[in-house]
Structure 1
Amino acid sequence: MYGVTGASGQLGRLVLKALLETVAPDRLVALVRDPDKLADVAARGVAVRHFDYDHLAEPTAVLAGIDRLLLISSSEIGRRLPQHQAVIDAAVAAHVGFIAYTSILHADSNPMLLAEEHRATEAALKASGLAHALLRNGWYTENYLGQVQVVVEHGELIGSAGEGRISAAARADYAVAASAVLIGAPETRIYELVGDRAFTLTQLAAAIAGASGKPVVYRNLPEAAYREMLESTGLPAPIANALADSDVKAAEGVLFDDSGVLSALIGRATTPMEESVKFALRA
């Protein structure tokens, strides 16, 4: 029996889709804060259980029967470690045999602020004694495309990544890899997962321009100016600070890797950045 936390999120839904291609619905458990969001999945025969990282009522019962669990990292920066620890403790109590965790690229040495909670979660998993896989995901290409229409409208992609090479891949690529590891990984292992072809934000801006038919350039800002810009869009200061820090670290090469592990796991080349751009523009 396979379980997926955060199953109604952007990654979680893609993982369920990938799992359903090879696993019978009655062998899947979708764990989600709001079960109503997965009514379509429940209609296919997947068990949908209420699961809140912050309020794990009867945790042993909610994880009952699950042999292998995918712990998708919480999106609540600053609260992740206690949330993840609660899930790990519940998995131990429920005798879950294996956890795969969506971490960050090179978590053990990654200097990004965002890496701190992932590093601590990896340590908690090790301390738990559970067999586990660390899915050290690189950046999602979609991280840069959520406001692509605004980028086209203003003719600028803004960041602080300079000419740093970013080995990003589509979210769906990481979902297929998570599915493969959840089904097949026999023992504790670390996977450094990145796209096959790195790109700079200058190249991303050029791809957006080419796909949209409108001029788009990349404008690089100092970290403080970029952080202020992010805050001006309504992002809370801690999140804006973490994102600006991530861009600056990307300029230093932190988000580059050429391991090829992701494409090997999914059995095909990772999705080209240009294809993700075209998809985002159509959305």
Structure 2
Amino acid sequence: MTIAVTGATGQLGRLVIEGLKEKGAEAVALVRDPAKADGMGVPARKADYDQPDTLEPALEGVDTLLLISGSEIGQRARQHKAVIDAAKTAGVKRIVYTSLLNAPTSTLSLADEHRATEAMLADSGLSVTLLRNGWYTENYTGSVPPAVANGAFVGSAGDGRISSATREDFAAAAVEALTGTGHEGQTYELAGDESYTLSELAAEISAQTGKDIPYADMPPAEYAKILESIGLPAGLAAALASFDAEAAKGVLYSEDKTLSKLIGRPTTPLSKSVAAALA
């Protein structure tokens, strides 16, 4: 069985490819630039969401496709449709899609494109597995070094609890869904075993560094301005601040333990992720 992975040179895609190799699966990397897949140890095929004519040839002979949601917010529904259409034409039998935690009801601005993609998959006639991924821990731990440098962890999530997991955790779930049995037609809500507030994250950073790193909560508009000041585009800064504002309402929290059951181990503790970020 040939398994193809879109966005295979991305942070999640690379981990999935490594996991598939460890399982001995026949994996194919679908990438915009095959040269960037050098050294991955699997065949690479050019597959550009914005060049639909590249998609069907890239999917030739593929049995199962992991469609990792695209990174271009606002373009993803169109891009995903091109992949789904090409998969149907190429004879792909099953698509595993990385969606969003509680996609049907989520108030995150990201959710609309995931809902649209899930609807397209439902109408495709293909076997589908939905991996509704929660928040990546790295979305927050990426800010650990600047927090230490500046003496505070800033955000707009208030006291909202966040049930995140690492990319490694979500990649392991994808590998199981792609290679294991009984996952066809399933929808999995995936979240970390533990939850935390950003104040608790700041306390963990403080404990590991021996420095006082408080959490500074601020209005989303103010937080967006700070993100802009460090070089983020205005649209992205506003989006990130809005995600925090929704997190304050509990949108990133879940008590579901499906992820750890699926991967056969506890999800990565926050303390370990903080240590990795500090290293």
TM-score, structure 2 normalization: 0.96
The correspondence for 1:206, drawn from 203, 208, 220, is 203
The correspondence for 1:179, drawn from 175, 182, 185, is 175
Residue 58 of structure 1: how far off its partner (Å): 4.1
More displaced, 179-188 or 116-125?
A: 179-188
- Deviation track 1:104-133 (CA, whole Å, cap 9, x = no partner) reads 110000011111111111111111121111
Find the residue that maps to 1:18 and give its secondary structure: helix
Q: Residue 121 in 1 paired to residue 117 in 2?
A: yes
| Matched pairs, number | 277
Q: Which residue of 1 aligns with 2:268?
A: 271
Q: What's the RMSD between the two structures over aligned residues?
A: 1.2
Q: Which residue of 2 aligns with 1:101?
A: 97
Q: Which residue of 2 aligns with 1:16?
A: 17
CA contact 1:77–1:239 (8 Å) conserved in 2: no
Q: One-letter code of the match for 2:17?
A: L
> Distance in 2 between the 1:230 and 1:37 partners?
29
Q: One-letter code of the match for 1:215?
A: D
Identity fraction in percent:
53
Find the residue that maps to 1:2 and give its secondary structure: strand
> Distance in 1 between the 2:234 and 2:89 partners?
37
Q: Which residue of 2 aligns with 1:237?
A: 234
- Deviation track 1:235-266 (CA, whole Å, cap 9, x = no partner) reads 22222222111111111111111110000000
Residue 186 of structure 1: how far off its partner (Å): 4.2
Q: One-letter code of the match for 1:214?
A: K
> Distance in 1 between the 2:184 and 2:234 partners?
40
> Distance in 2 between the 1:182 and 1:211 partners?
37
The correspondence for 2:130, drawn from 131, 134, 141, is 134
Aligned counterparts, 1:2-81, within 5 A: 2-24=3-25, 27-41=26-40, 44=41, 46-81=42-77
> Distance in 2 between the 1:239 and 1:30 partners?
28
Find the residue that maps to 2:131 and give its secondary structure: strand
Structure 1 residue ranges, 4+ long, deviating more than 3 angstroms after superposition? none
Q: Which runs of 5+ in 1 are unaligned?
A: none
Aligned counterparts, 1:155-174, within 5 A: 155-174=151-170
Residue 97 of structure 1: how far off its partner (Å): 0.6
> Distance in 2 between the 1:91 and 1:151 partners?
44
